[in-house]
Structure 1
């Protein structure tokens, strides 16, 4: 059987070969040559030559730089500014070329990666003063204050909602101020939170406001904050709000929304190679949160003085203030009763007044504090830093007006003593979760 099939196969091959050879001979006799084969081949490539040339001209028109950390002088890898990425580069290409030359992002990326050794750089962190000064003289750029850690720009964020709510500017409020304006103490934090509570649209069906914050004694967990919350509940809260719960999570734990907003802001800041003006930070924060500037949208009030005058010392309270993790404020007639619980699941304590004898919550009238009193210590080293980067005539540069005003205000001043019950880290970001 196998032998028979093999003979049949050979017969078909020979027949096909004969027919093919016979037909070719006839065509040559009739036409003088064989017709050109037009099947298959690259039919699309030639049509895209003009598009590829357009992309090539665009890429080669961009000014690239070599890496500051190249291990070999023969390296051909070049870098684009760190604030760019493929999407931004592609959008720039679409704006510069006519419509017929537009392509998809995937095609653009594939062509660039296949024909060019280009990457996106990272912000410089250790550039020497000489290089930076020369660079800044060639193009108007400025000093990255945050990376030099000379001036603190504080961001106290209040997040309204639940841990599952989407982070949007309408429910996130960033209270911003520099250390020139005010210290980051309990007066400033309490004033910012009071402004947030006064301007928040509470659901009329809700009777309880629940607040979450870290237990930093110098900012959140202190008698000044307690005095402000008691005053707001009694004098300024909507009538349907009758109770406040202030909860301090276990040390090391925090809520996701505030951490996420700080993470998004930090991610955007890392993409900026140079930051000099406060407005640059404002623009970054504004993408994720509603910003509220001190002295424009809100003011700082002296809650410390009023708390010392009206509120008892924590050692005289009817519960152990330091051990309490859950504070409950009740509005009752013309007074506010406070209950403190050391655990989150037990409600066994008693609610009593925290006011001194012959003192009441409505009698508190905190005065507005002037701005510009927040500087601690001598900041004259900034003058040396700016001189190293921009030269001795740095004061003539208009983009550095912020630092000129800062140095006028900066002076050595004793640090203010803060009534705190716990140690607090002087972080740049703080938050409250409602």
Structure 2
């Protein structure tokens, strides 16, 4: 993905990707996740995706999936044009460098890069074009029905009932499952 981005969008860009040492990184995003989690815990009931959106918006700019951005199927596109066997393991590397035609890796933070070409013969990065992933819910229909049946026993407000139909239904079910999981965790902790 980084090689295609560099070739197609900004060929002059030098990409040097340093993997942090596991367990020793303290990123600003970690603090934001902690604050979001605290705010979610302060809300006893969250029934709509918009409720989560409001909480997340308090801590940063929110990009809503399928409204503001979509995922691309890089895995399928890469399987067509990348070599299957790679002489390195990303999980064992500390630093990666992206150049015009190769990936350089180091398994220590100092020293020289070991350069590898990963593109199959006959393919070029400037023609790499992954397709959009379909928008599907990974919550099984039986789980959706069971969750919504439980919700209806709680006599939800009308906006929640209205949102349980149509395209919002999978999002509402995922929000409800998250709310139920949070409630169960609170009971376990208390």
| Counterpart in the other structure of 1:254 | 25
State the SS of the aligned residue for 1:316.
coil
* Aligned counterparts, 1:419-434, within 5 A: none
| Counterpart in the other structure of 2:143 | 381
Q: Compute the TM-score of the two structures, normalised by the length of structure 2.
A: 0.76
| Counterpart in the other structure of 1:277 | 48
Structure 1 position 403 matched with structure 2 position 167 = no
- Taking the aligned partners of 1:392 and 1:251, their CA distance within structure 2 comes to 43
| Counterpart in the other structure of 1:29 | none
| Counterpart in the other structure of 2:95 | 326
Q: Compute the TM-score of the two structures, normalised by the length of structure 1.
A: 0.36
Equivalent pairs, count: 171
| Counterpart in the other structure of 2:129 | 365
Structure 1 position 229 matched with structure 2 position 2 = yes
- Taking the aligned partners of 1:240 and 1:364, their CA distance within structure 2 comes to 18
- Taking the aligned partners of 1:406 and 1:383, their CA distance within structure 2 comes to 15
State the SS of the aligned residue for 2:102.
strand
Shift of 1:324: 1.3
Whether the aligned pair in 2 keeps the contact of 1:380 and 1:407 (CA below 8 Å) is no
Shift of 1:299: 1.4
Gaps of 5+ in 1: 1-227, 411-434
- Taking the aligned partners of 2:155 and 2:40, their CA distance within structure 1 comes to 28
Shift of 1:365: 1.4
Structure 1 position 339 matched with structure 2 position 112 = no
User: Could you say which structure has the higher strand fraction?
Assistant: 1
- Taking the aligned partners of 1:366 and 1:389, their CA distance within structure 2 comes to 39
Structure 1 position 348 matched with structure 2 position 112 = yes
Whether the aligned pair in 2 keeps the contact of 1:306 and 1:366 (CA below 8 Å) is yes
Indicate which of 367, 372, 390 corresponds to 2:152.
390
Highest RCO, 1 vs 2 (Cα 8 Å, sep ≥ 6):
2
- Taking the aligned partners of 2:165 and 2:39, their CA distance within structure 1 comes to 27
1:398–1:234 distance in 2 versus 1, CA, 3 Å: same
User: Could you say which structure has the higher helix fraction?
Assistant: 2
| Counterpart in the other structure of 1:291 | 62
Structure 1 position 266 matched with structure 2 position 37 = yes
Shift of 1:379: 4.2
1:254–1:406 distance in 2 versus 1, CA, 3 Å: farther
Whether the aligned pair in 2 keeps the contact of 1:379 and 1:407 (CA below 8 Å) is no
State the superposition RMSD in angstroms: 2.8
Whether the aligned pair in 1 keeps the contact of 2:81 and 2:123 (CA below 8 Å) is yes
| Counterpart in the other structure of 2:187 | none
1:296–1:269 distance in 2 versus 1, CA, 3 Å: same
Gaps of 5+ in 2: 172-190
State the SS of the aligned residue for 1:293.
coil
Poorly superposed stretches of 4+, deviation over 6 Å: 406-410
- Taking the aligned partners of 2:58 and 2:151, their CA distance within structure 1 comes to 30
